[in-house]
Each structure stands twice: as structure tokens, then as C-alpha cells.
Structure 1
Amino acid sequence: MRLPCILTLLSATSYSLAGVTVQKPGLTVPPAYASHKAAAEKIFTTSYAAYKKFAFGHDELLPVSEGPNDDLGGWGASLVDAMGTMVVMGLTDLFEEAVNYTATVDFNTSPADELISVFETNIRWVAGLLSSYELSGKKYPILVEKAKQVADKLAFAWVGDNVIPYNTMNFTTNSPEIGTTNIAQVGTLTLEWAALTKYTGNATYANLTAKAVIYTAGLATPLPGLAPQVIDPSTGQFADAYLTWGGGSDSYFEYLVKFARYTNNENPIFLDTWKTAVDSSIHTLLKTSTVGNWSFLADQDDQGLIRHVGSHLACFYAGNWLLGGQLLQNKTIVDIALLLNDGCWNTYASTVTGIGPETFAFIGSDGNFTGGDPITAEELTFYNEHGFYITGSDYIQRPEVLESNFYAWRVTGDTKYLDRAASAIASFNKWLPANAGFASLNDVNSADGGFIDIQESFWFAEVLKYLYLTFDDPSHLSLDTHVWNTECHPFEAPPALDSYTAKLIPQKPFTPHITNQPRPAVSPIPQLE
């Protein structure tokens, strides 16, 4: 990677739209939809008021039992996830209070006395702090300093000569838990650490994270561009052959195209790998339900069998393909992305609550194998009506369907996507209010399924920000001036190129390296320069 060039690109601050545009030019929100922006803000302020009352400084609110929960380090994950949304919504007093709190956080130990996820900490704290720094006009340098403190602790995830970081850390001893990780955890660091390089001038951050992805993308894969889910940092090899755009793999693929945009394709391997993965997915994983002709991306398991399964998490792929298809000016990718978006939205439109389930399955023309239990009579009845059936009925405030809906609106300007977002707001207001704040649901297809006692931190960062931005002035935070991290924290992007090109990567012979042998003892690397 040619870091001096990347640093030059990241320093750009002017936003000419002379290059490729992702967003539909001249897009405006019709006046008839204006009230929905305020409705999204109202859910945010209600949720955050409950968090402040019962859980301020903790990771999440328990909205049913009215208490705090700490499972993300104990430093206040909801607070940092909410900060950027506060700026976007103009909630200045709340934002300044949050800045003052984050200035006091000590990342040397975890108040929750637990092992720390590199992935979860990075996408919230490093991203949330740096994005808030940008969104607030770069007036609070303490936010960069705190992001640096977090990253300096996370850097101990790289040990010895390993190019791949471990994902679970003890922040007290600066030592990682040795074991396998997944490609999402490896690949979802590049945006945040490149932004940190931009503001600190320390190229080590960008180098560590980009090098890990470049290495992973260079390994042989079962299908061109489609990296398997599990990788072992100690061997540098894949430890399975499972292919999915769902959890454990999702944001690895997401960041390939986003990092290519953020650095304006400085190293072509990111965009080349993304385009190759999309091409392989179209040829092998893209399936259509026999009822309704809904489009989904299936999984391929270790035995090379297609699993006709989907998930709320995986539904980010529609928005991601819209972004990449627009950058590459590839109408085929854009058209398929819109079909995928419709398939995912149907999982919302088909339930009693109007909210989509955590996991689902479908029957394709090539069969109905899922790798799990055979379809039941009840599931088949539901499938024959809706073109999918529910395998995991809970809703834990996932954003991905609404994320892709946001991209679809900004790319096409079709108001049906505004109608869908308005429908989601109405469903949330009807079904999610608990004793305090907004809860998660046990069963999206039941009127009395009961709550799950959690208000997720990403409810603030993702769900409510995507909904608000769907109805906001599209020029405010444009898809042409910003790149969003996987937690919906936007970063300023350099002016777009006049064109983005990518080539398909040929397939290499693939053999998964699976071992149960004990790992050798390792020592953490020294602190960053």
C-alpha cells in the first residue's frame, strides 16, 4: 500500500461532485413526508432520555427492568453510538454532555471486567469518536485523542509476525485471547484506522488494518472473491469453507468497496475483490423464491451445498451493492441490488408487527436445503403466502433492512422507499415502547410475543440515524461526500473520481486449513510508534 498517496487523498476537504455520483442528482424529500423526520428524532430523544435516567455511562439500557447493562466494555457504548446522531439531529446540549463524559473514560481497564471485542469496540468507539469529531466541525480534539487511546489498546491484537489480528482482548494485560476469528472482524477496521491516520499522521494505524485485508484478499477462496468465514491468525489460513454475506463475513465485504471509495481506489485489490465477490455471488448465491419471486443471497456451506437461508444482518447487501454498482456505473449490479432490497423488505411487510425477523429461509427453484430442520407444515403455510418463512422470530433492533432502504431512496428517488421507512417508524412506535425507552421483540409475527429486555447501542447509531437521514435533506450528508462505517458513523470522503474500474480476480485452488492443535504462546507487539 502506498501510504503517502493515501494520506494525500484522506486530507482532501473540498467536495466537488464532478466525479461519479452515487446519489440521484437534485434529490429532494417531498413536503408530504416532512413529519417523519421529526418522528424519528422523537424516538431518539425518548430512547436517550430513558438511557440517561437509568443507564447513563453504561453500555445499554434495560428498558423493561429499567436498569443498566454492560457487555461492551462498560465505557458507555450507547453514549458514543448516539453522539454522531445527536450532531446530525442538532441536539447540541446532549452532544456536549456526551463529549464531556467521553473525555473522562479510561480505556486501560474494563469497568465490566470482561474480555473486549476488537470488532465491537472499533466500530463504536474509534468510529464514533472520529465521526463525531468531523460532524461537529472538528472543534473537539479530545475526541481524536480518545479514539487514539482506544486504537492503541486494540493494536495489541496483532501478535508476533501475525498479519491477522485476534479479536478478543484483555485490556488490563494488553493480551489477546488466542483462537480463530472471522473475516468480518478482520476486515472491519480499515475505514476507522485510516481516518485515525488522517488525524494523527501516524501511518501505523492504516498500515496494520489494510495489510490484514490485503493479505486475506490474496488467499485462495472456494469461489473467486468470496472469502470463507473463519480465519486463524496463528496460521494465516482459512479454517473453514463457509461462504455467506451474513454475520461473521458481512462487513468484510462491506468495507472492500467502502474503503476503495474512501481512498479513491488507491490499491485496486479492494475494489477488484469486491467486484469478484459480487460476480461470484450473482452466479452462485443469488436465488429466487418459488413463491413471490423474491431475490436473496443464499449461503454455501463447507460441503459446497447451497443453504437457502437469509438474515436481517445479511440484508445490508442491497445497500452495499447499490453503492458499489453506482461507483462502477454497473446497471446490472444496481438492478439486482434493488431486487434484493425488495426481498428483504418483504420480510417486514409480511409480519404482524411490520418488523422483520432475525433469520429466515426460503424455497428456491434449486431446492429448499437449509442445513437445519426440514420445513414444518406451519412454516410451509407461511411460505406459500409470503415467499419466505421465519426461522428466528426475534427483533433486536437491527438496522440493515432500513439501511438498504435508505440507499435505495438516495439512489433512485422512488418515494416507495420513503413509505417503507414511514411504515417502520409507525411499527416501532406501536410495538417497541417499554417501561423506559424502546425494547426488542421476542416474536415479530405475534401481537403478544413479549419484549427482550435490551435497548441496543446501535439503535441510536444506526436505526434512528438511517431513518432520520431518509427524511432529511439529501444534500446534508450525501452518499457522494461521506462513507458510512458499519455502525452508521459517517466519514468525510475525498472528491470522487471520474470513474472507478475493477477487474475480476481468477480463482486459485482452495484447501481449508483446519487444525485443533494447541496454539503456541505469544507475546503482544510493542506500543504503536
Structure 2
Amino acid sequence: MLSRKRSRGMRHQHSWKAYEENAWGADEYHPISKSGSYLTSNERGMGYTIVDSLDSLLLMGFDEEYERARDWVKDELSFDVPGKVNGFETIIRILGGLLSAYYLTSTHTNPVYHDDSSLFLEKALDLSDRLLPLFDTPSGIPYSFIDLAARKAYPDADNGGMSSLAEAGTLQLEFKYLSEISGNPMYGEKAEHVMMLLDKQMPAEGVAPVLLNPQTGQFALFDIRLGSRGDSYYEYLLKQWIQTNRTEPVYRKMYDRSMKGIEQVLMNRSAKQGLVFTHELGPQRGRDGIPQWMIRPKQDHLVCFLGGSMLLGVASAYPNNQPVWSQLTPSQKIDYAAGKGLIETCVNTYEGNPTGLGAEIVMFRSPAESKAHKGNLDWYIKHGLQDEPILDGRNILRPETIESLFLAYRLTGDQIYRDQGWRMFKAFERYCRLPGGGYAGIADVENGVQVERLDKMETFWLSETLKYFYLLFSDGQTVPLDQNVFNTEAHILPIFTPKGVSDFASSV
């Protein structure tokens, strides 16, 4: 497997070199036009790609590339950049990247890198202080956008001023760790206050609409889903408990409640193939004016994180993530079966396409539709007018399926997960790799003959997708799961025992 591991690293280098040569300092890279772009309206960014890649470069041993990236952070990175940026993306990518770089350099086998940790902590503190206005709302639920130069936050005008569940519930790992290493409890307290509000407002089933009002802290009557704008909230419930060395049981309780609710309310099984999948619920008023929840048999690729997360949820309940399978509780057996089933489904949505790549969104057929359909697949990709593919059919280099395969292999040792990951990797190589450097998403995963490539290499290709491929073919001592936890952008953070645990966090 060593050659396969090395292949993952070389592909990261192929991607990084193209960015470094053609778009150095830009936030995002466009590999077809060989250009960069910025996430604010100004011709100046914050090097999202650079900061998002720091821990990948360290992990894979690209010392020269890392040193150039570190020097850019030291000499060029400034958060005094006018213009609105999304707070959620900035936290998981830039703050997460800086905190992971701090952790890895402070513990690196090469003591030369230990001096770099103070640089990354200094930058992380500067950024976090500029992010604090996000929480200046009547409820404490953060706004969606921030002008880091002006230190002013803004609600999301496109969604009626609402914030998303993911935006509110996917900052806790970063802010808790920052409090731990800085000695300033304020950051963790801001994050915990959000969790207290979410727990208070959460429906009994543990699943909630993806929008909530930062003025009142209450959920809006809106879609319930595990994909966009909701996904990482559920991911961080488990990971907050793991990150704090299992000393904050409230998050385990919240996680277990949500998994039970997901299994009862949002999970289904397809009629012909018997595939486990999740659907969405959309509100619709009945004749009596009372809202009813209507099922939409739609699953985002983003949901594919959940299979591996559920296996981790089972394993992490046991010392050193080594469960005694014969002693699993009934609920653990359900979670384990559901997690394995979701991974199987997500792999099927790759291997069922001519390109071997998964789409952004798949739809599942009802039992009647499945019976009438002549093909073997219970899922399909929506098309537009005149059979034109729409945005659902894209693959934009997302990491969620390979993330679950990595977790599944680490936790079970089953070779099938490596084999499936290898086939996925070869599909990316065939359809997304550009000979001149970089990788590009594709417009239609069902078209393996006339492939239309998209002129964008998302930062998560470097920070997440290739990292998880690399780790899938590494041994268990490379970022061991009993010592580390990944943020939702795959940034590596340590498990630690906090200096103090609040009454809320210690509640059971």
C-alpha cells in the first residue's frame, strides 16, 4: 500500500505546484485558465488555499513547499482586508488551518518547526478577535458574514437575515481549542453559548430546520436536511465530546439523540437495491393551515460524511476506539448498520456512473417508480429541459465519501474500503487531472465520453480530499484517531482534557 500512499502525496504536489506557479496568494485556483481569484470584492485576499493546505503539506512531508507557505503567512497574510466574507468558511478553513498548523509544528519531529507555532497562534488570535462581532446578536447565534477589516458582522440578506444550523454549530472545535492554547476562556464560552441555545430550541427528535433566527435564537419553519447548511452541526456534536477527551457528556447525549432522530425521521431504504439513504423534509401547509412535513427523496453528496461519522460514534464509546463487537448495545448496532449502509450507498452513487465519480445530488425512486424502472439503480440524477444536466450532476472534487472510507477502514480494518477508495482515486485521475497541473471538477458525471471540466479547483481538494486519500493508505499511527480529531475541513486538532468543564457541558 505504500505506493498508493505515495501516489496520493504526489497528486497533492501536482495540484499545489500549479497553484503556486499560477495563482500564488489568491484565495482560489482556476486550473484551466491558470488564474486565481479572491473571495472578497477587492483584488486582495487572505490566501485561503495556502492556509487551508498548511497541515497537508506538513503531514505529507513537503518541507520546501511548507516553508514557502509559512513565509507567505508570516510576510503577506493580513486580515485587514475590506469586504464581506462568510464567517463559517473563514472559521473552518483559515482559523482551522492556522490552529492545525500550530498544533503540528509545536509537536513536529523536526524541532526547527517548533518556532513556527507562535506565528500561527498569533495569526489565529488576530483572526478570532476580528470574528467576534459575528456573535454580537440579541441571541448570541452568529451572523453569516463578516468584514474583518471593519470588524463588522452582517446577516445573510439572501435568506431573510437567517443563519444556518451549520454556521452556528460548526465553530466549536476551533474556538474551544483556541481557548485551551491561549488561556483565554472567552472563545470557548462564545461557542458553548451557541450550543446551549441550540440544545434548548432543538426539537425532541434531535433534528431541526437548517435556518434559525439570530435575533431570537429560534428555528425557522424551513427544510430539515443533513446536506447543505445542516450537515456539520451533527458532525460536531460527536467531535466536541471526542475533542475534550469525553469530559463533556452533554454533547454525546445530544449526538445520540440526533442519531436516533435521523434513523427514525430521515432514513429510508430503497426498494430494489435495498440501499440506506437519507431524505429531506420540507414544510407545507395543509388545508387546516397546520404545517406538514413532506418527504423529498433527495440526498446531497455532503451527507456522505455521515456513514463514517456513525461508525466513529460507535467505536469512540469504547477505550482506544476498539469496540467489543459482540457487546454492542441495541442502539450501537443500529448506528453501526446505518453507518455501513450509508457508506455502501455513497460508493454505489460513484460506481453506478460511467465516470466512476459521484454527483452533487442524487434522487431516490419511490417503490412504485423503482418497480416501473427497467434499470438496476434505485437512484438517478435530475436533468433539466431537453435532457440537459443541471448542477446536480457535477463533481467538484468533494471529500465526504473518501472521508467515510478512511474512517471505516481505520475502525474496521476491512480491505474493501481501501479497494473502493482506490477505484475512486483512479476515476479522479482519469477525468479530473490536468496534464499542465491541477485538478478540475466535471460538469456531468454521467458523461464519460465528452467530459466538460469546470475551471475551479476547490481548496478542499488539497485540505480534505487528497488528505483523506493519503490517510486511507497510511498506517494507523499516522494521525491516530485516539489522539486527534478532524474539523469539518479535515484540519487536524488534538484531543485534550479541558482545564474546566461547565455545568452545561457536564450535564447528562
Same fold (TM over 0.5): yes
1:99 equivalent to 2:94? Answer: no
Structure 2 residue identity aligned to 1:297: T
Given that residues 418 and 471 in structure 1 are in contact (C-alpha distance below 8 angstroms), is that contact kept between their aligned partners in structure 2? Answer: yes
Secondary structure at 2:419 match in 1 = helix
Partner Cα separation in structure 2 for residue 259 and residue 480 of structure 1 = 14
1:325 equivalent to 2:348? Answer: no
1:462 is aligned to 464
1:70 equivalent to 2:38? Answer: yes
Partner Cα separation in structure 1 for residue 259 and residue 366 of structure 2 = 20
1:245 equivalent to 2:226? Answer: yes
Given that residues 217 and 269 in structure 1 are in contact (C-alpha distance below 8 angstroms), is that contact kept between their aligned partners in structure 2? Answer: no
1:408 equivalent to 2:408? Answer: yes
1:390 is aligned to 381
Q: Which runs of 5+ in 2 are unaligned?
A: 108-113, 156-160, 284-291, 318-327, 383-391, 499-506
Given that residues 229 and 240 in structure 1 are in contact (C-alpha distance below 8 angstroms), is that contact kept between their aligned partners in structure 2? Answer: no
Given that residues 481 and 495 in structure 1 are in contact (C-alpha distance below 8 angstroms), is that contact kept between their aligned partners in structure 2? Answer: no
1:439 equivalent to 2:440? Answer: yes
1:61 equivalent to 2:29? Answer: yes
Partner Cα separation in structure 2 for residue 472 and residue 90 of structure 1 = 13
Partner Cα separation in structure 2 for residue 217 and residue 105 of structure 1 = 41
Given that residues 266 and 279 in structure 2 are in contact (C-alpha distance below 8 angstroms), is that contact kept between their aligned partners in structure 1? Answer: yes
Partner Cα separation in structure 1 for residue 358 and residue 74 of structure 2 = 38
1:207 is aligned to 189
- Where do 1:120-519 residues align within 5 Å? 120-138=89-107, 139=114, 140=116, 141-178=118-155, 179-221=161-203, 223-302=204-283, 303-328=292-317, 330-365=332-367, 380=373, 384-391=375-382, 392-434=392-434, 435-447=436-448, 448-494=450-496
Partner Cα separation in structure 1 for residue 497 and residue 194 of structure 2 = 26
Given that residues 357 and 390 in structure 1 are in contact (C-alpha distance below 8 angstroms), is that contact kept between their aligned partners in structure 2? Answer: yes
Q: Which has the higher helix share?
A: 2
Task: Give the direction of change, closer, same or farther, for the CA distance of 1:495–1:194 in structure 2 (3 Å limit).
Answer: closer
Secondary structure at 2:106 match in 1 = coil
**1:71, CA displacement in angstroms?**
2.0
Partner Cα separation in structure 2 for residue 105 and residue 191 of structure 1 = 27
With the length of structure 2 as denominator, give the TM-score of the two structures.
0.85
Partner Cα separation in structure 1 for residue 100 and residue 276 of structure 2 = 34
Partner Cα separation in structure 2 for residue 326 and residue 220 of structure 1 = 26
**1:149, CA displacement in angstroms?**
1.0
Partner Cα separation in structure 1 for residue 76 and residue 224 of structure 2 = 39
Partner Cα separation in structure 1 for residue 190 and residue 453 of structure 2 = 41
Q: Pick from 27, 36, 48: which aligns with 2:4?
A: 36
With the length of structure 1 as denominator, give the TM-score of the two structures.
0.82
Secondary structure at 1:300 match in 2 = strand
Structure 2 residue identity aligned to 1:96: E
Structure 1 residue identity aligned to 2:100: S
**1:103, CA displacement in angstroms?**
1.6
Aligned length: 451
Secondary structure at 2:316 match in 1 = helix
Query: Bigger shift: 458-467 or 134-143?
Result: 134-143
Secondary structure at 1:491 match in 2 = strand
Q: Pick from 83, 88, 92: which aligns with 1:114?
A: 83
Residue deviations 1:164-196 (CA, integer Å, cap 9, x gap): 110101223211113211010001000001111
Given that residues 170 and 176 in structure 1 are in contact (C-alpha distance below 8 angstroms), is that contact kept between their aligned partners in structure 2? Answer: yes
Q: Pick from 75, 80, 89: which aligns with 2:60?
A: 89
**1:353, CA displacement in angstroms?**
1.1
Given that residues 287 and 364 in structure 1 are in contact (C-alpha distance below 8 angstroms), is that contact kept between their aligned partners in structure 2? Answer: no
**1:425, CA displacement in angstroms?**
1.6
Secondary structure at 2:66 match in 1 = helix
Partner Cα separation in structure 2 for residue 315 and residue 324 of structure 1 = 15
Residue deviations 1:365-411 (CA, integer Å, cap 9, x gap): 4x77xxxxxx9x9xx55xx3222111311011110011011111111
Structure 2 residue identity aligned to 1:355: L
**1:478, CA displacement in angstroms?**
1.2
Q: Pick from 31, 43, 52: which aligns with 2:20?
A: 52
Given that residues 138 and 214 in structure 2 are in contact (C-alpha distance below 8 angstroms), is that contact kept between their aligned partners in structure 1? Answer: no
Q: Quote the sequence identity (%).
A: 30
Query: Bigger shift: 413-422 or 73-82?
Result: 73-82
**1:199, CA displacement in angstroms?**
1.2
Partner Cα separation in structure 1 for residue 345 and residue 250 of structure 2 = 30
Given that residues 124 and 487 in structure 1 are in contact (C-alpha distance below 8 angstroms), is that contact kept between their aligned partners in structure 2? Answer: yes
Given that residues 107 and 149 in structure 1 are in contact (C-alpha distance below 8 angstroms), is that contact kept between their aligned partners in structure 2? Answer: no
Task: Give the direction of change, closer, same or farther, for the CA distance of 1:60–1:359 in structure 2 (3 Å limit).
Answer: same
Partner Cα separation in structure 1 for residue 277 and residue 174 of structure 2 = 30
Partner Cα separation in structure 2 for residue 364 and residue 219 of structure 1 = 33
Given that residues 137 and 143 in structure 2 are in contact (C-alpha distance below 8 angstroms), is that contact kept between their aligned partners in structure 1? Answer: no
